[in-house]
Amino acid sequence: DAGVIQSPRHEVTEMGQEVTLRCKPISGHDYLFWYRQTMMRGLELLIYFNNNVPIDDSGMPEDRFSAKMPNASFSTLKIQPSEPRDSAVYFCASASQGGSYEQYFGPGTRLTVT
């Protein structure tokens, strides 16, 4: 298995632009998580899905952030419009109930908003 796949690995954009981050979970996993990591705030859970349905989006910072999971093998996290304070590393992770919820992280997307 290729593990969790994220794209792009690096993204540099200007303030006000739309940013879309992509994630492909491990095949067979029924949970998908989006995290944001910064030096100041550590590792924060933004939103997670179970069987493609959003379960808890309480960590989404504001309406500029949205996430979708149209099918079991693909999810997106969109920021529109982006701001410099959104600069961070965004991780996607997946897990399965059958695997006792052990989360496997993707390589992350480093986002820089100038």
Partner 1 sequence: GENVEQHPSTLSVQEGDSAVIKCTYSDSASNYFPWYKQELGKRPQLIIDIRSNVGEKKDQRIAVTLNKTAKHFSLHITETQPEDSAVYFCAASTGNTGKLIFGQGTTLQVKP
Task: Report the interface residues with partner 1, using CB under 8 A.
Answer: 31, 33, 42-43, 45, 48, 50, 55-56, 91, 95, 97, 100-108
Question: Residue 65 or residue 91: which is nearer to partner 1 going by CB?
Answer: 91
Shortest Å distance, C-beta 1 to partner 1: 15
107 - beta bridge partners?
Answer: none
Shortest Å distance, C-beta 67 to partner 1: 15
Written in H, E and C, the secondary structure of the chain is: CCCCEEECCEEEECCCCCEEEEEECCCCCCEEEEEEEECCCEEEEEEEEECCEEEECCCCCCCCEEEEEEECCEEEEEECCCCHHHCEEEEEEEECHHHCCCCEECCCEEEEEC
Question: Residue 18 or residue 24: which is nearer to partner 1 going by CB?
Answer: 24
Question: Residue 17 or residue 112: which is nearer to partner 1 going by CB?
Answer: 112
Shortest Å distance, C-beta 88 to partner 1: 14
Residue with tokens 């739309």, as numbered in its chain = 18
Shortest Å distance, C-beta 89 to partner 1: 9
Residue with tokens 């986002």, as numbered in its chain = 111
